[in-house]
Chain A
Amino acid sequence: MSGINDFVVKFATVNGSGSASANGIFAKTLFRMGVPVSPKNIFPSNIQGLPTWYEVRVSEAGYLGRRDGIDLMVAMNPQTFKEDLAEVVPGGWLLYDSTLPRVWPRDDISIIGVPIAEMCAAKWQDTRQRQLFKNMVYVGALTALLDMDVEVLKSAVADQLKGKEKLVAANMEAVALGREYACRNFDCPLPIRLRHADGAKGKILVSGNEAAGLGAIYAGATVCAWYPITPSTSLAEAFERHAKRLRVTKEGRRLFGIVQAEDELAAIGVAIGGGWNGARSFTATSGPGISLMSEFLGLAYFAEVPVVLFNIQRGGPSTGMPTRTQQSDIISCAYASHGDTKHVLLFPANPTECFAMGAEAFDLAERLQTPVIVMSDLDIGMNEWVTEPFAWNDAHVHDRGKVLSADELEKFKEIKGKDWGRYQDVDLDAIPYRTLPGTHPTKGAFFTRGTSHDENARYTEDGRAHARVLDRIRRKFDTAQTLVPKPEVAIRDKSGKTGLIYFGATTPAVHEALDLLEREGVKVNAMRIKAFPFTRDVASFCAMHERVFVVEQNRDAQMRSLLMTEAEIPGAKLIPALNYDGMPLTAAFVQGVVLKRLQPAKAAAE
């Protein structure tokens, strides 16, 4: 199965040993050779010392989901030799530092010993250099073994070390060292190797958090409050980095305010305060932060304050697996907070969508006057993806929603035929008009509160008024349904009886699985959900099929539950396909679930 431009390399290293930048350069080189790659960082919740892995799948066909079975293992961490060896597919390769030669108890793979430490010790005097350049030596060996373009590699090194020309030269010396050793001692290149391709041409290599932070810049967000938590931290940091470059006036004044809050409660509080006062405001967090922010999300929902929340999901429950991925906050986000609450969710499937939805979320939040949660995850957020370039239409007008100016307040009755009231449904779309503090000397002031209020924002304990307001907010969800992105439907068989629903980071693995299934004669129609509330297309897709697989990365089939509750799809029709071990889904897993279910039926029919 593996071959030219189609294989998986895995680097097993020690956290904090400097391997991350060498591995990044490796992936960037492949990407710049035009070959689609999907690097996945499998890292510990640790700063230094624990095992870390970097898995790079190479697929000229563009299948960028994770794939089990390592073709080439770069085993640099003695702590994990045993499990790393076991992961190599029969016929595969294992590269290790043979300064201390060892016997590898497998005879169905090839062992490539490179005396890396010895070579570095001979070349450099400084212990730090000896350590750091080890990483570039194995990359150098790989250039020969995998036939990487050294000039392209050099450009990747130069980019990484911009302004440090001496370091570039030293790194390239390390590369040459490894390369020459491999050329002299092994039959290079291996049958798994690279060649220039155009599958990645025109694309970009970027992480989802970087993209979402940039999306918030393009959305015009000015208030960001956050509390450090893996894997969302790099989103706020990306926003700050971009803002410092793109959002400073000629006089050196900043057009943004960032607060690293004391906790997640304060982070969302600051964002809601900013949203209430007319600035586009957001926060970013992960599972435990969602739990902490829930009370405030209920307030923003009930008091109808726009705010954007990026949830970069990780493995739960509780502290769970902070450095592994899941899609397990769907229910907790859809219904975050006590009482009857429901929130708009967006499900980006790659960094390009993190950018686009990251910007769109603010339009939706202000239009709908409610929190919008962008449901990314660790896999999209922290890994670099080969993805379509970011696009922005300069003709786009940011939708600031129904916010009245002083002049509009003056003329409100004249135009609308009714007096203004904060929670009056004047346009019958369940979205009222809001005013910002400071707008008009005598008109438009109101009291925002989480206690029950009537249509004029006055405190009430009148149950009928309470129910009326709740009903209108529920109707607002009907309006939301017409505004959120529609699902992406791919029909392979018009009269097919089997459908499959998926969303978010599982997209590449699902696409591959659908191709694999079709090759085996099983055509499955598919729909990728992009948002909650579900648009009508979701129910009609389910109605078209006898059975619908729902692929998700959590134990309790949370999206399936949401489909049953909110789209009223009969549970019997929805077959869960659940992966929740924290590792990104593989196509083989999806294929397995589908075949296991379909083939017994097929066999019985035969």
Chain B
Amino acid sequence: MSYIAKPSAHHPALPKNALGLTRRDYEGTMSTLCAGCGHDSITAALIEACFEMDLPAHRIAKVSGIGCSSKAPTYFLSRSHGFNSVHGRMPSITTGANLANRDLVYIGVSGDGDTASIGLGQFCHAIRRRVNMTYIVMNNGCYGLTKGQFSATNDKTSPSKKGDANPFEAIDLCQMAIQLGAGFVARSFSGDKVQLIPLIKAAISYWGFAFLDVVSPCVTFNNHPTSTKSYDYVRAHNMAVDKLDFIEEKDEITADYAEGTSVAVTMHDGSRLVLHKLDQQHDPRDADAAIMAIRSNAAKGRVATGLLYVNETQRDMHDILATDARALNSVSMTELCPGAKVLEAINTRLR
């Protein structure tokens, strides 16, 4: 199997966004993942989010590691540059790319093996550095390409398709992300596009490190009745802590939201997130409460979804490093190279 191009012809009446582009302009090549794979739904949600946000695709960079999830960037945004790197190392590539050009939107796509096992260190340190990016984990609890081994996010209570017990506890990436200081942490489900699309939009708009863990059933290896990452299980146990409205800066704010039940968060680019609290205990601006919400739901066998945590005032890596406002890759060599005269002064000091 090589790649499969999609025909570029489309219906002339397809709706266009502010850039005059259709959804088709945000697509990639044909997916080669299994039919029904949760990852394809996430891909569709990404296309929809970017289309609706009127994002110029060429100003987005897609970066991934290795695995089924990391193949997905081929299936969306064909007008964007993409980088399918090595296993578990998407965060470092994105960090370097972001250092070189702070003006692009970075979408990192990873999987549960790619992030929670081989790439756990890089995941942690990209968060610690506050890389301004959207980090999406397509989380199916198993290794698909190598035929269904458990991953580190698979619940201890969730056996394999063949019935083998999983001996180890799961790593909860959202809890880790909150502890490590990710400014935006959300969990969603590939089968819930009503929740997923606004979360993706909000994550992309967020200035700083935005983490999105999307439970995405593996139809081939982890969708059996006893799996806790199956469509049926997640539908039955999905506990949304809030409902998100994402309002872009250009959009008129039409409704007022009742105090106490809603939280409004203004983003760096002027867009607003309005969160309708479904769980009255949950305040997404409180990291401890967010971790509690995840843990108390998990204790009841439920998956807490929605925007779990948001820090409205995060400074990103460039703010911390005090780099120039211009993209470093745009600064001319004349400005970067100090020249012969300065070198002569350096020589003098070394004499």
How near does chain B come to A255, taking the closest CB pair, in angstroms?
Answer: 5
Q: How far is the CA of A277 from the CA of B327 in the complex (A)?
A: 10
Interface 9-mer from A35-43, A263-271, A488-496? A263-271
Q: Which residues of B contact A277 (CB under 8 A)?
A: 61, 96-97, 100-101, 104, 329
Q: How far is the CA of A253 from the CA of B319 in the complex (A)?
A: 10
Q: How far is the CA of A331 from the CA of B125 in the complex (A)?
A: 32
Known A273-B97, A448-B81; contact A218-B343, beta-carbon cutoff 8 A: yes
Known A254-B323, A437-B81, A458-B3; contact A442-B58, beta-carbon cutoff 8 A: yes
Q: Is the CB of A441 within 8 A of B336?
A: no
Q: Which residues of A contact B104 (CB under 8 A)?
A: 277, 437-438
Q: Which residues of B contact A270 (CB under 8 A)?
A: 92-93, 95-96, 99
Q: Which residues of B contact A441 (CB under 8 A)?
A: 56-58, 79
Task: Determine which residue in B86, B95, B100, B101 has the highest number of CB atoms from chain A within 10 A of its CB, and name it.
Answer: B100
Q: Which residues of A contact B335 (CB under 8 A)?
A: 255
Q: How far is the CA of A253 from the CA of B340 in the complex (A)?
A: 23
A-contact bits for B338-351, CB 8 A (1 contact / 0 none): 11101100110011
Q: How far is the CA of A246 from the CA of B337 in the complex (A)?
A: 9
Judge whether B321 is part of the interface by a CB distance below 8 angstroms: yes
Q: Which residues of A contact B129 (CB under 8 A)?
A: 259
Instruction: State which of B86, B122, B329 has its C-beta within 8 Å of the C-beta of A278.
Output: B329
Q: Which residues of B contact A127 (CB under 8 A)?
A: none
Judge whether A460 is part of the interface by a CB distance below 8 angstroms: yes
Judge whether B333 is part of the interface by a CB distance below 8 angstroms: yes
Judge whether B233 is part of the interface by a CB distance below 8 angstroms: no
Instruction: State which of B81, B89, B321, B340 has its C-beta within 8 Å of the C-beta of A269.
Output: B89
Q: Is the CB of A275 within 8 A of B96?
A: yes
Q: Which residues of A contact B89 (CB under 8 A)?
A: 265-266, 269, 296
Q: Is the CB of B347 within 8 A of A437?
A: no
Instruction: State which of A263, A279, A397, A438 has its C-beta within 8 Å of the C-beta of B58.
Output: A438
Q: Is the CB of A462 within 8 A of B2?
A: yes
Q: Which residues of B contact A276 (CB under 8 A)?
A: 83, 93, 96-97, 100
B-contact bits for A428-471, CB 8 A (1 contact / 0 none): 00000001111111100111111100100011111000000000
How near does chain B come to A247, taking the closest CB pair, in angstroms?
Answer: 7
Judge whether A344 is part of the interface by a CB distance below 8 angstroms: no
Q: Is the CB of A266 within 8 A of B329?
A: no
Q: Which residues of A contact B343 (CB under 8 A)?
A: 218, 390-392
A-contact bits for B221-260, CB 8 A (1 contact / 0 none): 0000000000000000000000000000000000000000
Q: How far is the CA of A451 from the CA of B83 in the complex (A)?
A: 11
Q: Is the CB of B342 within 8 A of A246?
A: yes
Interface range, A side: 35 or more
Q: Which residues of B contact A204 (CB under 8 A)?
A: 347, 350-351
Interface 9-mer from A143-151, A219-227, A311-319, A561-569? A219-227
Q: How far is the CA of A448 from the CA of B65 in the complex (A)?
A: 11
B-contact bits for A563-604, CB 8 A (1 contact / 0 none): 000000000000000000000000000000000000000000
Instruction: State which of A218, A279, A440 has its C-beta within 8 Å of the C-beta of B337.
Output: A218
Judge whether A326 is part of the interface by a CB distance below 8 angstroms: no
Judge whether A195 is part of the interface by a CB distance below 8 angstroms: no
A residues 262-314 in Cβ contact with B at 8 Å: 262-263, 265-279, 281, 295-296, 299
Judge whether B164 is part of the interface by a CB distance below 8 angstroms: no
Which chain A residue shows the least CB distance to B344?
A: A389
Instruction: State which of B80, B96, B121 has its C-beta within 8 Å of the C-beta of A445.
Output: B80
B residues 292-351 in Cβ contact with A at 8 Å: 317-318, 321-325, 328-329, 331, 333, 335-340, 342-343, 346-347, 350-351
Which chain A residue shows the least CB distance to B324?
A: A253
Q: Is the CB of A258 within 8 A of B321?
A: yes
Q: How far is the CA of A460 from the CA of B32 in the complex (A)?
A: 12
Instruction: State which of B58, B78, B324 has its C-beta within 8 Å of the C-beta of A249.
Output: B324
Which chain A residue shows the least CB distance to B87?
A: A295
Known A206-B350, A390-B346, A459-B3; contact A450-B86, beta-carbon cutoff 8 A: yes
Judge whether B59 is part of the interface by a CB distance below 8 angstroms: yes
The list of the 4 closest CB pairs from A to B, nearest first, reads A273-B96, A269-B92, A279-B100, A437-B81
Interface residues, chain A, with chain B CB atoms under 8 Å away: 32, 203-206, 214, 217-220, 222-223, 225, 246-247, 249, 252-259, 261-263, 265-279, 281, 295-296, 299, 389-394, 397-398, 400, 435-442, 445-451, 454, 458-462
